[in-house]
Amino acid sequence: MDYAQIPQGEVLDGRFEVRRLVKSGGMGAVYKVTDRLLGGKTFAVKQIRPSADPKEFQQAKSHFIGEIGVMQSLHHPNIPKIISSFFRGDSFFFVMEFVDGIDLSAYRKEHGNPGLPVDRVVGWAVQVLDALSYVHERPNPITHRDIKPSNILLDEENNRVVLIDFGIAHATDPADGWIGTPGYAGAEQQMGTPEPRSDLFALAATMHELLSGVRPRGGFEFGTLENLKVKAPEGLQDILDHALEPWAEDRIPSAREMKEQLLALPGLSIQGPTENREHTFDVAADALNREAIVPGLKDLIERFGNECQTPYIPATLSFNRFVLGAMTSFELVITKDDQRESIRFEEKQGLLAPVLLGEVFPLENGSPEPVRAIIDRFASDYEEFKNSSWQIL
């Protein structure tokens, strides 16, 4: 499907300014954008169009909202954080963490001979399996459905890989039929019944390609590493064979077990990713958001009813503007500071300049009590503001 490219400088959803096209393909396009609300912070915006019939567009739209809501709840260093979503015309958009990296398909073509070093491939697989354990072991397991080299991005600066397009195909096309890529899909997935072990097949096929330089052709036929002249440690071939069984019930039972088997291989020097402070901060901040900020603001909505001018509370914490009052606004503005040290709470009355109400440091103290105290103070200030003899317009 062809897409009209969004021009540089155009502002999406009132805040995301397009900087450049990163990638376009069959499912849509990805743009690098900067957020005007957050002082120019960089994000990626993906534009997609549902493959459903136009008559089913509303169903696809509702399905997308539900799936994106689930994906926004994911907090893992190897899964890009989804910030928000919106619609424009016949396209769906979602905003996510920008990963300045290269996909592993392109990386193999640039650096493979024809494949890549075993230590690196196994190390990347361990990171992916850590992410898969996280989503597969949730109360309602999530299956990626389309793991392949081009859907794994490598941030070379810190050796972190991230798994992109998590459930996006399913999110935008609720119609029946199997989703995935031939050669990377097990038999049950091709029958339209994917499950968590489908991702293990896809990852094993991905590892085989990265090691050998040979793309899978389908038919469940993968040459042995020895025949493909790949020097591999004892046991790796057995792990791949087990994960590449055509049917899910015959495979390694879980991502966690596959990860443990890979880590037990002899003679490998596996290097994990270096610490990503921004991500570590964001995870801690999002935990505080879930445990204290969102419940606290919901209490304010219940307490003040129609006086609340905020239509909804974002599931993720990037920029939160909570407004009370009618003729004169009384606002609580919640932001993460640029250095990723603290969450700032500012109180703003009408046209007056904002005043710092409080600041919390998630990496030093993850307790929800300081947040609750700040929100209580905001509520008290609002009551006093309402009862004052004058209000600032």
What is the tens place of the pLDDT at every residue in 133-169?
Answer: 999 999 999 999 999 999 999 999 889 999 998 766 5
> Would the pLDDT of 103 be above 90?
yes
Burial 1-32 (b: 16+ CB within 10 A, else e): eeeeebeeeeebeebbbbeebeeeeebbbbbb
Kindly report, residue by residue over 326-349, the tens digit of the pLDDT: 677 899 999 888 777 899 999 998
Whole-number pLDDT of residue 199: 98
Instruction: State which amino acid sits at residue 274.
Output: T
> Would the pLDDT of 308 be above 70?
yes
What is the arrangement of strands in the sheet containing 160-163, beginning at the earlier edge strand? 102-103, 152-155, 160-163
**CA 110, CA 287: separation in Å to the nearest integer?**
39
User: Per-residue confidence at 64, pLDDT binned at 50, 70, 90?
Assistant: confident
Kindly report, residue by residue over 181-218, the tens digit of the pLDDT: 999 999 999 999 999 999 999 999 999 999 999 999 88
**CA 240, CA 251: separation in Å to the nearest integer?**
10
What pTM was estimated for this model as a whole? 0.79
Kindly report, residue by residue over 225-270, the tens digit of the pLDDT: 999 999 999 999 999 999 999 999 999 999 999 999 999 999 999 9
Angle at 288 between CA 287 and CA 289, to 5 degrees: 90
Angle at 299 between CA 293 and CA 302, to 5 degrees: 145
User: Per-residue confidence at 271, pLDDT binned at 50, 70, 90?
Assistant: confident
* Average pLDDT of span 45-62: 75
- State how far the alpha carbon of 383 is from the alpha carbons of 145, 296, 309, 330, 387, in Å: 51, 16, 16, 10, 6
Per DSSP, the residues of 258-284 read HHHHHHT-TT-----PPP-HHHHHHHH
**CA 112, CA 159: separation in Å to the nearest integer?**
17
* Average pLDDT of span 105-111: 97
* Average pLDDT of span 48-61: 72
Whole-number pLDDT of residue 177: 59
Of 14-18, 178-182, 352-356, highest mean pLDDT: 14-18
Structure tokens at 384: 């006093």
**CA 285, CA 341: separation in Å to the nearest integer?**
10
The number of C-alpha atoms within 13 Å of 161 and in the hemisphere containing its C-beta is 26
Of 35, 103, 146, 199, which residue is the catalytic one?
Answer: 146
Whole-number pLDDT of residue 1: 47
User: Per-residue confidence at 178, pLDDT binned at 50, 70, 90?
Assistant: confident
**CA 374, CA 257: separation in Å to the nearest integer?**
44
Instruction: State which amino acid sits at residue 374.
Output: I
> Would the pLDDT of 82 be above 60?
yes
Of 163-177, 178-192, 299-313, highest mean pLDDT: 178-192
- Helix ranges restricted to H, the chain: 57-72, 104-111, 118-136, 168-172, 187-190, 196-212, 236-243, 255-263, 277-288, 294-304, 369-387
> Would the pLDDT of 315 be above 70?
no
Whole-number pLDDT of residue 184: 97
Cis peptide before 174 (omega within 30 of 0): no
Whole-number pLDDT of residue 63: 76
Around Cβ 305, how many Cβ atoms within 10 Å? Answer: 8
146: annotated active-site residue: yes
The rounded mean pLDDT for the chain is 89
179, 63 contact by CB (below 8 A): no
Q: Which residues contact 209 (CB under 8 A, 6 or more apart)?
A: 108, 149, 215, 216
Structure tokens at 132: 């898969």
